[in-house]
Structure 1
């Protein structure tokens, strides 16, 4: 990457502090464009409730360096996808080591579950679960994201749901024994065609049938908005099954303020309902401008006095 393209004086200082020398934006910001960028100290204060999804931010920076970049922007937490990709510089051990060095909390991971609604994949899923649990222990994360709900040729939706639910009932006691939570992530049919779990249903029904503190929902407001809309009412109706929150504005999957969602009201209600965890910023910074995205997010949090609750 072009090492000359740093953005914003405060970000440059942060990168220098962490020893990172890769750019975190697609272009430099002119002086007259910096006036509405919050300072590093303000960003650190108001980004505290959020976890930066470093899979979507800072592309194509080397993966581990994205942890440094998130800290330099003012984040104190990050979230990741599959940690077991050594060819991409990702192992649970290397990620945990870099996060510890930077004083960064990792809030969730998504270790790419097999399509376990297919009975042919059940044994592979059980083996995968061993690795997912081991990765979580190394990363010191008590929850991981669970998908594995692609359509299966030859099976009806009812059969797929029955298989999916049956396997979760089978593994729930094992997850409970190790104090870990698997969070089902419903997608949306526009960005992720070819799946059978979209929006708030059938995920809520699955979790309520499994009836375990270790099988809950990763409630991603982006997918919920694209599938169901009516974000606050649906959140209220499903809040008893929420274990983790992610978000992006809709429909372009950039930071709040770039689309149609009134995130100030959504986050305010989220706190009123009692959600105390991190809120995952799983979006693509608009125009690949990470500094602008971080400042926009911090400004939103400041406008509603959104405080960390952990």
Structure 2
């Protein structure tokens, strides 16, 4: 069988990661035996069945930049994500022709596999620097066009590196001014730019950490098209007190991502009580997908998917309503 047929077949069976690589040359008889052996191993390890994982993972989008990294080629990771129970994925930069990435190619592969893309994170010029305003506007044209191709109405916005010679106050002022300028364009295109604050431990050299100044910027811009990608991992590392800060900033939340703290693996491997956090998230009225932007512990994607699904099943997490 060719690569497409093989990936489609193993995706339906729930095999990924090293399993995909090792099964690539199997005959149909060998494949059946290998799949049975893998399913038996999963049951022995207490891993949820594929059907249970699919149910529990309905709210989550697999970040295929961090999952399967170094194990599976980028485009094939969509099938790998589906093979372990995800119906949605998220990506970072869709522009990298040298590695076979274009919005058109990515969109076609997602359609072929049957997964939804929920978010993308192209790399903007550092637009807090006035010298980068024109390049940023050109970048925005490409980014909006990519969103239309990918059928995604929201993209993550960074561009907040420290700039030599400017104070933090000046950088925030420049950043806010540019967002005010582009907000009407985003509104006309029905697109949402979600500011993504980082944390100072994993992302040194930025001026946007935790909930501030992102919250103040969004409230000043005052547009339905400029909101926050509220990444619980970054918020925990920077501010802690996740539920209270979420409640206080929820009016500016447009997208959610998560990882446990401090090691950025799946929930249950660190310090965050994600059952309570996600329950409150849905109670507040967040209807969308939650980006699983973390590294599966020990590169065990099936275990990470099972852990995440089990969390959702335990708290009866409602599936997205959008």
Alpha-carbon separation, structure 1, partners of 2:154 and 2:111: 18
Q: Counterparts of 1:1-310 in structure 2 under 5 Å?
A: 13-15=13-15, 21-22=20-21, 31=41, 34-60=44-70, 61-310=72-321
Q: Match of 2:31?
A: none
The CA deviation at 1:33 is: 7.2
Alpha-carbon separation, structure 2, partners of 1:203 and 1:32: 42
The CA deviation at 1:293 is: 0.1
For residues 68-111 of structure 1, what are the alpha-carbon distances to aligned partners after superposition, in whole Å with 9 as ceiling and x for unaligned? 00000110000000000112221101110010111100000001
SS in 1 for 2:227: strand
Alpha-carbon separation, structure 1, partners of 2:44 and 2:124: 42
SS in 2 for 1:22: helix
Flag structure 1 segments of 5+ consecutive residues without an equivalent. Answer: 4-9
Alpha-carbon separation, structure 2, partners of 1:306 and 1:109: 24
User: In 2, are the aligned partners of 1:15 and 1:68 still within 8 Å (CA)?
Assistant: no
Q: CA RMSD in A?
A: 2.0
The CA deviation at 1:21 is: 3.8
Flag structure 2 segments of 5+ consecutive residues without an equivalent. Answer: 4-9, 24-37
User: In 2, are the aligned partners of 1:11 and 1:40 still within 8 Å (CA)?
Assistant: no
Evaluate the alpha carbon distance shift between residue 208 and residue 32 of structure 1 in structure 2; reply closer, same or farther with a 3 A threshold: closer
The CA deviation at 1:43 is: 0.5
The CA deviation at 1:30 is: 8.4
Alpha-carbon separation, structure 2, partners of 1:15 and 1:272: 34
The CA deviation at 1:35 is: 3.6
For residues 103-133 of structure 1, what are the alpha-carbon distances to aligned partners after superposition, in whole Å with 9 as ceiling and x for unaligned? 1000000010110000010000000001100
Alpha-carbon separation, structure 2, partners of 1:31 and 1:256: 22
Evaluate the alpha carbon distance shift between residue 43 and residue 29 of structure 1 in structure 2; reply closer, same or farther with a 3 A threshold: closer
Q: Match of 1:6?
A: none
| TM-score, normalised relative to structure 2 | 0.88
User: In 1, are the aligned partners of 2:11 and 2:82 still within 8 Å (CA)?
Assistant: no
Q: Match of 2:27?
A: none
SS in 2 for 1:47: helix
| TM-score, normalised relative to structure 1 | 0.92
User: In 2, are the aligned partners of 1:84 and 1:111 still within 8 Å (CA)?
Assistant: yes
Evaluate the alpha carbon distance shift between residue 12 and residue 103 of structure 1 in structure 2; reply closer, same or farther with a 3 A threshold: closer
Evaluate the alpha carbon distance shift between residue 103 and residue 30 of structure 1 in structure 2; reply closer, same or farther with a 3 A threshold: closer
Task: Name the count of aligned residue pairs.
Answer: 296
SS in 1 for 2:251: helix
Alpha-carbon separation, structure 2, partners of 1:185 and 1:132: 16
